[in-house]
């Protein structure tokens, strides 16, 4: 929506993408402030206080993105101590943060307690004991929610399905009641919530509704036992169209959750959207280095690689690829768009129709979520720059990494070794 052609040129809001690429180089991530804000409002308008939205930081954790969302009233869902530090650096408050993740270390738990974390989303019985021990040693009470695995099939890519019995995430529904009973007995824990997160890139409401059904039943049962659950966090996972999929409308689902909560009474609801807030709010711009025709396939070799945007290599994910300047009248070729990294998995698209030549710019669409945050320095490639546009102005929100920084902190052996 915020990336559109004006005549033959692609604009990010009111900034010409060509100009941004000229100024900041490629590969370049460009995010639209208006798009992030509009995506946020799609949820916020259906979600009155005291219900809360905790943006899932791992989708895009740039300080400018976090700061924008904090100003819009976001809480945050984190999966590491590093993400908590980022949220705090961006102006977020620890009290508005929930801490998910299956493998929280001792140090991460201690750090989160010291900062005054809003809630731990606990993923195992062992983690519960660990949090109790650390909270006791500090003489504090830790707010906890138990992440339950509701065993629903989210019908998404197996690498991003998290709510099945066979996944490593959460506590099995069959054990959940016992673990809640145990938690309620531990003196330094305040068992205030239940949560789940069934997977990512889910495009139909049914898996969410199935999970909600099971979670509300659980909350109701626990309350009957005297375990006073005051919030239910239904996680994230809302899909976005990457190709021709229908858009998932969240409004009805959010209303349904609130009706169910009203029936139980005194239950604050939470959600943890990530991708749906930033996914379509970003593009990755890359330059064509070579056109390489072949006997079986033609390749467009571009200056971005799987280290910049991993989703195609990791999940075989589809991203639309569009020319930044349309050359109407030039014949399109059938091409594979591939990067320079020494891996066959280093591709952005197979069998695409594009009319592009050496030096042309391409936009890889819907790259705002799980793009930069998954980037690496594989092949000693500096990570890309990031820009946020707002109307006709643009702010460099992350500088391109200087090459020397890539071996900062490395040491060669002394001559006597
Ligand atoms: C990744 C994650 C999210 C966000 O998922 P999206 O598909 O980006 O909405 C929310 N909650 C938890 C616990 C996560 O791990």
Residues 224, 285, single domain; the answer is no
Name the 3-class secondary structure at 17. helix
Ligand 1 pocket, mutate which of 80, 122, 274 (most atoms under 8 A from CB)? 274
Residue 377 lies in a domain: yes
Structural domain span for residue 23: 3-30+279-407
Residue 416: pLDDT band (50, 70, 90) is: confident
Report the separation in Å between the CA atom of 88 and the middle of ligand 1, taken as the mean of its atom positions.
19
**Dihedral sign computed on CA atoms, order 263, 266, 272, 278:** positive
- Stretch 33-51: mean pLDDT, rounded? 98
DSSP letter (8 states) at residue 180: H
Contact residues of ligand 1, CB 6 A cut-off: 56, 58-59, 77, 79, 100, 197, 200, 235-238, 272-276
Residue 162 CA: nearest ligand 1 atom is 15
Report the separation in Å between the CA atom of 56 and the middle of ligand 1, taken as the mean of its atom positions.
6
Report the separation in Å between the CA atom of 361 and the middle of ligand 1, taken as the mean of its atom positions.
32
Residue 50 lies in a domain: no
Q: How many domains does the chain fold into?
A: 2
Question: Radius of gyration of the chain from Cα atoms?
Answer: 23
Report the separation in Å between the CA atom of 149 and the middle of ligand 1, taken as the mean of its atom positions.
14
Q: For the domain that residue 403 is a member of, what is the CATH number?
A: 2.40.37.10
Residues 204, 348, single domain; the answer is no
Tell me, what's the pLDDT at 310?
98
* pLDDT at residue 158 is higher than 90: no
Residue 300 lies in a domain: yes
- Stretch 119-145: mean pLDDT, rounded? 98
Contact (Cβ atoms closer than 8 angstroms) between residue 337 and residue 348: yes
CA dist., res. 46 & res. 392, Å (int):
30
Residues 191, 168, single domain; the answer is yes
To the question of whether residue 235 is assigned a binding role by annotation, the answer is: no
Report the separation in Å between the CA atom of 305 and the middle of ligand 1, taken as the mean of its atom positions.
25
Q: Does the annotation count 119 as an active-site position?
A: no
- Stretch 258-276: mean pLDDT, rounded? 98
Residues 238, 117, single domain; the answer is yes
Residue 304: pLDDT band (50, 70, 90) is: very high
Residues 259, 171, single domain; the answer is yes
To the question of whether residue 381 is assigned a binding role by annotation, the answer is: no
Residues 126, 200, single domain; the answer is yes
User: Whose alpha carbon is nearest atom 10 of ligand 1?
Assistant: 236
Residues 357, 290, single domain; the answer is yes
Residue 55 lies in a domain: no
Tell me, what's the pLDDT at 157?
73
Residues 152, 228, single domain; the answer is yes
To the question of whether residue 343 is assigned a binding role by annotation, the answer is: yes
Identify the domain boundary among 271, 292, 317: 271
Ligand 1 pocket, mutate which of 42, 100, 104, 119 (most atoms under 8 A from CB)? 100
Residues 174, 302, single domain; the answer is no
Residue 83 lies in a domain: no
Residue 273 CA: nearest ligand 1 atom is 9
Residue 371: pLDDT band (50, 70, 90) is: very high
State pLDDT tens for residues 339-368: 999 998 999 999 999 999 999 999 999 999
Element (H, E) at 299: strand 298-302
Q: Which of 15, 119, 196, 342 is catalytic?
A: 342
> Mean pLDDT of all residues in the chain?
96
Residue 404: pLDDT band (50, 70, 90) is: very high
Residue 45 lies in a domain: no
State pLDDT tens for residues 160-205: 677 677 778 899 999 999 999 999 999 999 999 999 999 999 999 9
Residue 61 lies in a domain: no
Residues 166, 263, single domain; the answer is yes
Ligand 1 pocket, mutate which of 237, 270, 275, 368 (most atoms under 8 A from CB)? 237
Spell out the alpha helix ranges (H) of 265-361.
275-278, 311-315
Contact (Cβ atoms closer than 8 angstroms) between residue 25 and residue 385: yes
To the question of whether residue 315 is assigned a binding role by annotation, the answer is: yes
């Amino acid at each position: 929506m915020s990336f559109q052609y004006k005549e033959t040129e692609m604009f990010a809001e009111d900034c010409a993408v060509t100009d941004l690429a000229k100024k900041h180089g490629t590969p370049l991530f460009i995010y639209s402030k208006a798009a992030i804000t509009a995506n946020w409002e799609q949820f916020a308008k259906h979600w009155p206080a005291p219900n809360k939205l905790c943006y899932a930081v791992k989708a895009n954790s740039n300080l400018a993105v976090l700061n924008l969302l904090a100003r819009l009233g976001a809480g945050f869902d984190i999966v590491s101590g590093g993400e908590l530090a980022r949220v705090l650096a961006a102006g977020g408050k620890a009290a508005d943060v929930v801490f998910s993740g299956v493998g929280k270390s001792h140090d991460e738990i201690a750090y989160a307690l010291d900062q005054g974390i809003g809630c731990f989303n606990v993923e195992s019985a062992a983690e519960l004991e660990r949090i109790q021990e650390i909270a006791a040693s500090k003489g504090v009470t830790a707010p906890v929610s138990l992440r339950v695995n509701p065993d629903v099939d989210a019908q998404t890519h197996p690498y991003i399905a998290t709510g099945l019995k066979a996944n490593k995430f959460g506590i099995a529904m069959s054990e959940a009641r016992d673990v809640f009973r145990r938690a309620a007995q531990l003196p330094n824990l305040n068992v205030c919530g239940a949560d789940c997160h069934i997977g990512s890139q889910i495009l139909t409401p049914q898996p969410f509704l199935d999970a909600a059904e099971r979670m509300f039943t659980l909350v109701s049962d626990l309350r009957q036992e005297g375990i006073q659950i005051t919030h239910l966090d239904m996680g994230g996972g809302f899909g976005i169209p990457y190709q021709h999929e229908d858009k998932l409308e969240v409004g009805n689902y959010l209303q349904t959750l609130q009706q169910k909560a009203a029936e139980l009474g005194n239950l604050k609801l939470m959600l943890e959207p990530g991708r749906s807030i930033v996914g379509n709010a970003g593009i990755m711009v890359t330059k064509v280095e070579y056109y390489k025709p072949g006997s079986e396939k033609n390749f467009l070799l571009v200056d971005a690689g799987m280290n910049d945007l991993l989703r195609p290599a990791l999940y075989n994910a589809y991203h639309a690829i569009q020319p930044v300047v349309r050359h109407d009248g030039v014949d399109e070729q059938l091409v594979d768009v591939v990067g320079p990294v020494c891996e066959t998995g280093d591709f952005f698209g197979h069998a695409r129709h594009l009319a592009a030549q050496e030096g042309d710019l391409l936009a890889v669409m819907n790259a705002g979520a799980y793009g930069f945050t998954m980037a690496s320095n594989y092949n000693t490639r500096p990570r890309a720059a990031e820009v946020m546009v707002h109307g006709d102005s643009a702010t460099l929100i992350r500088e391109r990494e200087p090459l020397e920084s890539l071996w900062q902190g490395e040491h060669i052996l002394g001559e006597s070794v």
